[in-house]
Amino acid sequence: MKSLFRPFLLLVAALPLVLAACGDKEPEQRAAFTQYLQTRIVDKPGVRVPKLTDDEKKSFGDYASHYAVITDFNAGMDASIKPLAGIAQKGTVRSLNDIVTRREDLKTAQQSLNEMGAALKEQQAKADAAHAQLKQPEDLKAVYDKAYEKTVSLPADTFRDVLPELNATFESALKIGDYVEANKTQIEISGAIVRVQDPAVQAELNQLVQALNDQAKNLQQAQTRIQALMLGR
């Protein structure tokens, strides 16, 4: 009986040694991942999320899936905000006549903007939930959280701050369009020339136009914030 069970007992005794040898890779993988986050993301200006090579994925081991939380969000954010340039162009107005004749374009752009904001909010919530589930040693967590803040939280929060500014610009333009429509017997528009018969209507229209100009300045400042964040300037 002893000769039959001896190989089995030796195998059981050797098993913990094999598992321990496999687990020894974790400190090396953690160090490699931590260094990558620090040097390729945290220390670099702007928002940059490099794509991992196969060798890098291998060197990070299971921590490559932690990096995927960041890359997946950025891919989703890029898809969400991709229509922004087209929306801004569609909503651009250069004259009072533009506002009056392109009210439907402005409404469509505003609706697209609301959908973009909702999509971005969903992407951020998904990333935050995945981030909260990650189990990381404290030394890695300290660096990872900095990288996450820089590449996920700050871009998402900044874009979500800018979208309402753009939305408010559209809203101000639509108010002008509605006002002109409601007072069309008092307002005559011929190209860039606007004539208003009633001084009270002229004063109210001037206030609405000034509000739009002020909102456009706020939007320009918000766009500058995005550029500074993304480029690190």
Beta-ladder partners of 188 = 195
133 within a domain of the structure (yes/no): yes
204 within a domain of the structure (yes/no): yes
168 and 90 Cβ atoms separated by less than 8 Å: no
pLDDT at 1: 38
Which are the contacts of 143, defined by CB distance < 8 A and separation ≥ 6?
34, 37, 38, 42
Query: What does each of the 233 residues of the chain score in pLDDT, given as a tens digit?
Result: 333 333 323 333 444 434 334 447 999 999 999 999 999 999 999 898 999 999 999 999 999 999 999 999 999 998 888 887 777 777 777 788 888 888 888 888 888 888 888 999 999 999 999 999 999 999 999 999 999 999 999 999 988 888 888 888 889 999 999 999 999 888 888 877 888 888 999 999 999 999 988 888 877 777 787 778 777 66
20 within a domain of the structure (yes/no): no
172 vs 221: CA distance, rounded Å: 17
217 within a domain of the structure (yes/no): yes
Report how many domains make up the chain: 1
15 within a domain of the structure (yes/no): no
191 vs 3: CA distance, rounded Å: 104
This prediction's pTM? 0.79
Token pair of 60, please? 């990070």
Burial of 85: CB neighbours in 10 Å, binned 0-12, 13-18, 19+ = exposed
pLDDT at 233: 63
9 within a domain of the structure (yes/no): no
Q: Which domain holds residue 172?
A: 28-231
95 and 180 Cβ atoms separated by less than 8 Å: no
99 and 173 Cβ atoms separated by less than 8 Å: yes
73 and 124 Cβ atoms separated by less than 8 Å: yes
18 within a domain of the structure (yes/no): no
10 within a domain of the structure (yes/no): no
153 three-class SS: helix
**Radius of gyration of the chain, Cα coordinates, nearest whole angstrom:** 28
The residue count of the chain comes to 233
74 and 49 Cβ atoms separated by less than 8 Å: yes
